[in-house]
Structures are given as structure tokens and as C-alpha cells.
Amino acid sequence: NERLEFLGDSVLNCAVADMLFGMFGKLDEGDLSRVRANLVKQQALYEIAQMLQLSDA
């Protein structure tokens, strides 16, 4: 369902933004946005899932 995907993407973006703000609060908004965008893109999420040994199986 695309509506749930939209909601999930929003929750993920918010959670990552909160984490980054806590860890790197001195960075400006542009830098925080770039780091967040790199963390929530599909390839990065795939690599994190692999490191955590998450799978569909």
C-alpha cells in the first residue's frame, strides 16, 4: 500500500533526523540533510540490513 510506504518513509526520515541532530547538532541544516538523504536511500538501507543480518527468509 503506497500510503503505508509514505508513512514509513516519513517515520524513518524523522527517526534518522532526530538521531543525526543528537549526534551532530553543530552541523548546519544543509549538511544534516545531505547525511540523512545518504542514510535513507535504498542502497544504504540494504547495506545496513545486510550488516544486521536481516532478511526476508
pLDDT digits (tens, 9 = 90+) for 5-23: 999 999 999 999 999 999 9
Report residue 6 as a C-alpha cell: 509514505
Gap between the Cα atoms of 17 and 23, Å rounded:
10
DSSP state of 47: H
- pLDDT tens for 10-57 read 999 999 999 999 999 899 999 999 999 999 999 999 999 999 999 775
pLDDT for position 57: 59
DSSP state of 24: S
pTM of the predicted model as reported, rounded to 2 decimal places: 0.79
CA dihedral over 43, 47, 49, 50, signed as positive or negative: positive
pLDDT for position 1: 86
